[in-house]
Amino acid sequence: MTHIVEMKGMNKYFGKLHVLKNIDLTVEPGEVVVIIGASGSGKSTLIRCANGLEEYESGKLIVDGHPLAPKGGNQKALAEIRKEVGMVFQQFNLFPHLTVKKNIMLAPMKVKSTPETVANATAERLLNRVGIGNQADKYPSQLSGGQQQRVAIARALAMEPRLMLFDEPTSALDPEMIGEVLDVMRELAKEGMTMMVVTHEMGFAREVADRVIYIHEGQIVEQGKPDDVFDNPQNERTQAFLSRVLAH
């Protein structure tokens, strides 16, 4: 079986700061990997490397069969990878000047030259799927945070990605809207989407993840099945982190 993501001895620096240290990580098709860790531990940086939003300095990174050289080397591979990897951001990053539907239609039409009628139909189908089919012609600012994030998921799905990256998708949401976004993600996981999720939602991680990875100061210090990691963490750093986040 070919890996969707393969990171080998990957290192990343911000100036002198060593943010990712010797990362070895593979993600298999259909797998849901949840990455947890304290803020500043490098977990967001890790998934941002997987679609080249961050360059890395040394090691190896292969995404869906495309090797991506260090320091943003090969533009062709980068373009291919970005077509195949979708991303959902903490701040949604919807395009405020476009309607919800146009947000979703933009990339298929520009990148894949999808005809407008087809892109339109896809957008409507995806909006129904994330439960906001009736908001298609509104602008993002007219939607609630939860609805905006669901549009962002639909927008990424419109490119039919092989892998979806979620960078703290519920961290900017009011508590009552977190559930609706997690529901959509849960559905996606059930349908077999390969996902890498950075989140603080431990309940979601335990329920949906095939594997939980704990990152501490740029290093993967522990990984395993959610029940093992949450109930019986081996590393003392993981224990300390989990006792802090699960205590309340």
Q: Which stretch binds other proteins (CB under 8 A): 154-162, 180-188, 201-209, 212-220?
A: 154-162
Rounded Cα gap, residues 81 and 59, in angstroms: 18
Binding mask 162-181 for other proteins (x = CB under 8 A): ---x----------------
Q: Which of 171, 172, 191 is closest to 126 using CA atoms?
A: 191
Query: Which C-beta is closer to other proteins: that of 71 or that of 248?
Result: 71
* The only residue of 95, 190, 231, 243 in contact with other proteins, by rule CB under 8 A: 95
What residues numbered 114-153 form the site for other proteins, per CB under 8 A?
Answer: 139, 141, 152
Cα 235 to its chain centre, rounded Å, is 25
- Contact between 91 and other proteins by CB under 8 A: the answer reads yes
- Contact between 155 and other proteins by CB under 8 A: the answer reads yes
> Tokens 């609805």 — which residue?
147
**Which residues, at least 6 apart from 7, have a Cβ–Cβ distance to it below 8 Å?**
23, 24, 25, 26, 49, 50, 59, 60, 61
In the structure encoding, which two tokens stand for residue 65, read together?
Answer: 């069969």
Query: Which C-beta is closer to other proteins: that of 94 or that of 189?
Result: 94
Hey, how many other C-beta atoms are within 10 angstroms of the C-beta on 135?
20
Q: Which of 220, 52, 146 is closest to 62 using CA atoms?
A: 52
* The only residue of 7, 19, 130, 156 in contact with other proteins, by rule CB under 8 A: 156
* The only residue of 107, 177, 182, 221 in contact with other proteins, by rule CB under 8 A: 107
- CB-CB contact of 194 with 239 (8 Å): no
Q: Which stretch binds other proteins (CB under 8 A): 30-38, 90-98, 129-137, 191-199?
A: 90-98
Longest dimension (CA), the chain: 55
Which amino acid is residue 118, in one-letter code? V
- Contact between 12 and other proteins by CB under 8 A: the answer reads no
- Contact between 101 and other proteins by CB under 8 A: the answer reads no
Residue 182: CB minimum distance to other proteins, A = 21
Burial degree of 134 (CB within 10 A; 0-12, 13-18, 19+):
exposed
Residue 50: CB minimum distance to other proteins, A = 10
Query: Which C-beta is closer to other proteins: that of 97 or that of 248?
Result: 97
Binding mask 187-226 for other proteins (x = CB under 8 A): ----------------------------------------
- Contact between 111 and other proteins by CB under 8 A: the answer reads yes
Hey, how many other C-beta atoms are within 10 angstroms of the C-beta on 97?
9
- CB-CB contact of 183 with 32 (8 Å): no
Site residues, other proteins (CB under 8 A):
51, 53, 79, 82-83, 85-87, 89, 91, 93-97, 106-107, 110-111, 139, 141, 152, 155-156, 159, 165
